[in-house]
Structure 1
């Protein structure tokens, strides 16, 4: 028996799959991104939290202890005062 012309024109399955996949370099780059992401996640998990006392402004803390102070940077006088008025040109200081 002879094969039909439709069977001869159809590409083999392997060629069709190869044509649909992205280039090897793209697959390699995506694989590298996945590996680097997993390594950075593992390093972050091993190190632990960067700022354990950090909490949202106005939010509640999840930890059991209360802070000893309210976070005020004492000695910063005049930080909330209005800006000085500009001196007109030629006016005595």
Structure 2
């Protein structure tokens, strides 16, 4: 009777099982390139709103330049727990 391998693992090559499929590697590489390109474009363009600023280290902790809260939507609070 001839020796017939019962499973692909019986050939002794386990290195192929440890590596992900090439299509998955290509997809992840493409995804990383798209995120890097979108980040670079966003950094080059800057903020999209005229009054948008980053968080400062010594600010008063107010409403972030929103005009004192007079133009806010009714029922919306700024973390006061109402």
TM-score by length of 1: 0.44
Which one has more relative contact order, counting CA pairs under 8 Å at least 6 apart?
2
Instruction: Give the TM-score, by structure 2 length.
Output: 0.49
Give the number of the structure whose alpha-carbon radius of gyration is greater. 1
